[in-house]
């Protein structure tokens, strides 16, 4: 009597192996799917914008005439806004991270703040827009100026900056600060001279990545009310403004009226993506160049 | 600082040195005490943000419910904010949000999970190191770009073989939203699956299971809490997504289940109303906050659920 029917087992085995191989191919295709869409997306945007990105487009003023329209105003608006977002989030984000990691006693208050930060990270960006509209634009009577938009986006990315800064502080090994204390340094001296310099590359990397998220954010800006057409360039943080993503938004929804607006939107997307690429490359460069491994 | 009189009369002024030392110490001890207070004030800003969000949403929502009964809001199937006799039923918006999120998850769920399985179980280290960052690029593209893509490419593509689909419809933004969420689900699920100990896989493989059987009978059950959490976070992301649906789904407020037609989501309604001329104090203006409050509660519940699932059902090895 045979316990094993070899023929049948082999047959079943072959089937199972075939199933495994087919699934493997399927899983691989699923992984490629996203990348293929990415390639199509970039291809489409490049093709749509060919012939439209020229000197006039990059430096010109806004216009309803597609041939003459330029994005300098939107580009300046975005850059001015980042001049608000970057210092505000860096100071508040790093300060909060230092407090939570190095000063706060483990307890109720610290855990409330920490839980609150991770909840804030999940709030949809458009809700921040409503907060900005209510507090900055209306209650503080700023109107829809660069400062209001910048502060709104600052609140939006603050949780990301804080978490990145906390991780950077945690990655600084304990013996560094112990050596500093051993030399008689006070707590703040230790933080200022030892922990912060060691954690700064990690903090900056996280902050730049968060900044690139802020640059592409559109929803909060639509809520605080950015007009479709602003001819003068912004000259300071108290000016009314438009930004690159807002420009893409208006040109995209109006492309059913004027077909060329789709090309302008594609051109603006290229500029936005190049900006994001530069920012992300900077972040990766800082991480690789300055991050010490202990 | 004390006067520089250390070497007066060729003798060391000990008293002066002590005084100087004390003075600088008291200065530094002030900084030492002041710094934590300042940093605490920074940290508390995040709490103020939450309080600000909840307070503004709540106070204006209460004002809205004074004008429109809460029951009418949550059970009304007609939304006509701009008409002569305005009606404020939120169901068309809820419907649009749920349908677009469902389409997104039908795309992102299976594809994201399959990608996670490939990256965690099948891919070699080298392949993974190439593919993962490329998927992360997909996650870093601004949603406005996806909106443009949905409106100018995906919709015309769908319409070319399904002419019934309208120029603005919920199907196309739903699919594109799903594509946007793939990296998130793939990355979070992959993390969960990678943290399943190797010994468990080896046990299954040693018993003669194929890789596929190991994945579905050992790895996925062990990583289930993380996988479910990634799905819930994906849903939350889809509910809160704004620009893709605003651009590609139009602003029709019909209560319909026909995915070929335009529908408005809660987020798109907020953009339409706040970007328009809703003057402060009008009922339309307050409806903005009631819808935003609904949206906020929905996403908050989802995020809490995700955290609960991944904590409560985590298998410890």
Give me the pLDDT at residue B182, please. 94
For helices A125-132 and B220-240, the axis angle rounded to 10 degrees is: 40
Q: What is the ipTM for the molecules in this complex?
A: 0.89
Distance CA A249, CA B73 (A): 30
CA pair distance A49, A46, nearest whole angstrom? 5
Q: Kindly state whether residues B115 and B55 are assigned to the same domain.
A: no
Look at residues B27, B43, B67 and tell me which one is the last residue of a structural domain: B67
Residues B249, B147 share a domain: yes
Domain assignment present for B221: yes
What is the Cα–Cα distance from A219 to B143, expressed in whole angstroms?
9
> Based on the domain organization, do B254 and B109 belong to the same domain?
yes
- Give the residue ranges of chain A where pLDDT is below 50: none
Residues B204 and B233 in one domain: yes
Question: What domain count does chain B have?
Answer: 2
- List the one residue out of B313, B135, B300, B176 whose CA is nearest residue B233: B300
pLDDT at B2: 47
Structure tokens at B167: 């120029």
Statement to judge: residues B253 and B304 lie in one domain: yes
| Residue among A203, A206, A178, A177 at smallest CA distance from A192 | A177
Domain for residue B104, yes or no? yes
Torsion of CA B296, B301, B304, B308, to 10 degrees: -170
Q: Is residue B167 domain-shared with residue B231, that is, in the same domain? A: yes
Residues B58, B153 within the same domain: no
> Where do we find the tokens 């307050």?
B286
- Pair B51, B83 in one domain: no
In angstroms, rounded to a whole number, what is the distance separating the alpha carbons of residues B89 and B78? 5
A57: Cβ contacts below 8 Å, ≥ 6 apart:
A69, A70, A71, A264, A267
**Chain A CB within 8 Å of residue B35 CB:** yes
Asked if residue B2 is part of any domain, the answer here is no
Residue B30 forms part of a structural domain: yes
Contact residues, chain B, for A37 at CB < 8 Å: 138, 179
Chosen for mutation from A129, A252, A281 (greatest number of chain B CBs closer than 10 Å) is: A252
Residues of A within 8 A of B271 (CB-CB) are: 126, 219, 222-223
Spatial separation of the C-alpha atoms in residues B294 and B300, rounded to whole Å? 10
Alpha helices in chain B (DSSP H): 14-67, 70-75, 91-117, 125-140, 143-149, 155-161, 171-194, 198-206, 211-214, 220-240, 243-248, 266-275, 283-312
Nearest by CB to B243, from A112, A186, A249: name it: A249
Residues B50 and B93 in one domain: no
- The answer to whether residue B234 is domain-embedded is yes
Q: What is the CATH number of the domain that holds B259?
A: 1.10.3720.10
- What residue numbers bound the domain in which B123 lies? 79-312
The predicted model scores a pTM of: 0.88
Are B214 and B295 within one domain?
yes
- 3-class secondary structure, A2: coil
Q: Do residues B204 and B286 both lie within one domain?
A: yes
Please spell the DSSP secondary structure of A205-251, one letter per residue: HHHHHHHHHHHH--HHHHHH---S---SPP-STTSB---HHHHHHHH
> Chain A within 8 Å of B219 (Cβ-Cβ)?
no
Portion 62-121 of B in contact with A at CB < 8 A:
110-111, 114-115, 117-119
∠ CA B209-B215-B218, nearest 5°, is 80
Domain end, chosen from B67, B99, B114, is at: B67
Which residues of chain B neighbour A103 with C-beta distances below 8 Å? 36, 39-40
CATH of domain A56-290: 1.10.3720.10
Which chain B residue is nearest to residue A160, measuring alpha carbons?
B46
Domain assignment of residue B15, yes or no = yes
Instruction: Give the pLDDT of residue B186.
Output: 93
Q: What pLDDT, on the 0 to 100 scale, is given for residue B257?
A: 86
For B25-34, the pLDDT digits (tens) are 777 788 888 8
Tokens of B58: 């709540």
Burial class of residue B247, CB neighbours in 10 A (0-12, 13-18, 19+): buried
User: How do residues A120-149 score in pLDDT, each as one tens digit?
Assistant: 988 999 999 999 988 888 888 888 888 999
Could you say which residues of chain B have pLDDT below 70?
Answer: 1-11, 276-278, 315-317
| Per-residue confidence (pLDDT) for residue A294, from 0 to 100 | 61
Nearest-5° Cα angle at B251, B249 to B253:
110
Q: Do B201 and B144 belong to one domain?
A: yes
């Amino acid at each position: 009597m045979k316990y094993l029917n070899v023929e049948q087992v082999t047959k079943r085995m072959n089937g199972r192996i075939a199933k495994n191989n087919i699934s493997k191919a399927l899983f691989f295709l699923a992984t490629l799917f996203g990348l293929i869409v990415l390639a199509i997306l970039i291809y489409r945007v490049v093709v749509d914008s060919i012939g439209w990105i020229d000197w006039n487009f990059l430096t010109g003023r806004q216009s309803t005439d597609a041939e003459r329209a330029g994005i300098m105003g939107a580009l300046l608006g975005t850059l001015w806004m980042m001049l608000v977002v970057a210092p505000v989030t860096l100071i508040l984000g790093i300060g909060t991270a230092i407090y939570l990691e190095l000063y706060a006693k483990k307890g109720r208050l610290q855990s409330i703040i920490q839980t609150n930060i991770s909840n804030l990270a999940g709030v949809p960006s458009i809700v921040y827009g409503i907060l900005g509209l209510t507090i900055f634009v209306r209650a503080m009577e700023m109107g829809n100026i660069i400062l209001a938009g910048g502060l709104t986006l600052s609140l939006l990315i603050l949780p990301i900056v804080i978490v990145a800064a906390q991780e950077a502080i945690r990655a600084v090994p304990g013996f560094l600060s112990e050596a500093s204390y051993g030399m008689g340094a006070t707590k703040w001296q230790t933080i200022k001279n030892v922990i912060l310099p060691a954690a700064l590359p990690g903090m900056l990397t996280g902050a730049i990545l968060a900044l690139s998220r802020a640059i592409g954010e559109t929803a909060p800006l639509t809520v605080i009310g950015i007009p479709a057409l602003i001819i003068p360039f912004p000259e300071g943080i108290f000016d009314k403004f438009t930004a690159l993503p807002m420009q893409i938004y208006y040109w995209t929804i109006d492309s059913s009226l004027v077909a060329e607006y789709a090309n302008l939107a594609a051109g603006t997307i290229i500029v936005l993506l190049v900006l994001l690429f530069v920012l992300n490359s900077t972040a990766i460069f800082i991480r690789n160049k300055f991050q010490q491994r202990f | 600082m004390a006067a520089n009189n250390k070497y007066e009369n060729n003798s060391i002024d000990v008293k002066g040195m002590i005084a100087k030392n004390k003075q600088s110490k008291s200065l530094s001890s002030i900084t030492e005490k002041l710094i934590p207070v300042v940093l605490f004030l920074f940290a508390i800003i995040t709490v103020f943000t939450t309080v600000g969000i909840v307070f503004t949403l709540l106070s204006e929502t209460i004002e809205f419910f004074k004008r429109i009964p809460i029951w009418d809001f949550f059970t009304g199937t007609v939304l006509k904010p701009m008409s002569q006799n305005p009606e404020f039923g939120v169901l068309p918006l809820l419907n649009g949000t749920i349908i677009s999120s469902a389409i997104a998850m039908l795309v992102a769920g299976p594809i994201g999970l399959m990608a996670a399985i490939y990256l965690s179980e099948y891919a070699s280290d080298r392949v993974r190191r190439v593919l993962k960052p490329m998927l992360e690029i997909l996650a870093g593209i601004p949603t406005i770009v996806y909106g443009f893509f949905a409106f100018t490419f995906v919709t015309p593509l769908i319409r070319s073989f399904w002419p019934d689909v309208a120029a603005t419809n919920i199907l196309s933004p739903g699919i594109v939203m799903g594509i946007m969420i793939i990296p998130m689900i793939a990355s979070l699920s992959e993390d969960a699956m990678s943290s399943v100990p190797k010994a468990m896989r080896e046990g299954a493989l040693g018993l003669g299971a194929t890789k596929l059987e190991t994945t579905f009978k050992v790895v996925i059950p062990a990583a289930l809490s993380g996988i479910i959490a990634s799905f819930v976070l994906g849903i939350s992301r889809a509910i809160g997504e704004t620009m893709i649906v605003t651009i590609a789904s139009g602003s029709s407020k019909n209560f319909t289940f026909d995915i070929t037609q335009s529908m408005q989501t809660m987020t798109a309604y907020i953009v339409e109303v706040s970007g328009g001329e809703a003057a402060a104090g009008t009922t339309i203006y307050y409806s903005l906050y009631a819808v935003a409050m609904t949206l906020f509660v929905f996403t908050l519940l989802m995020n809490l659920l995700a955290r609960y699932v991944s904590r409560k059902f985590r298998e410890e090895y």
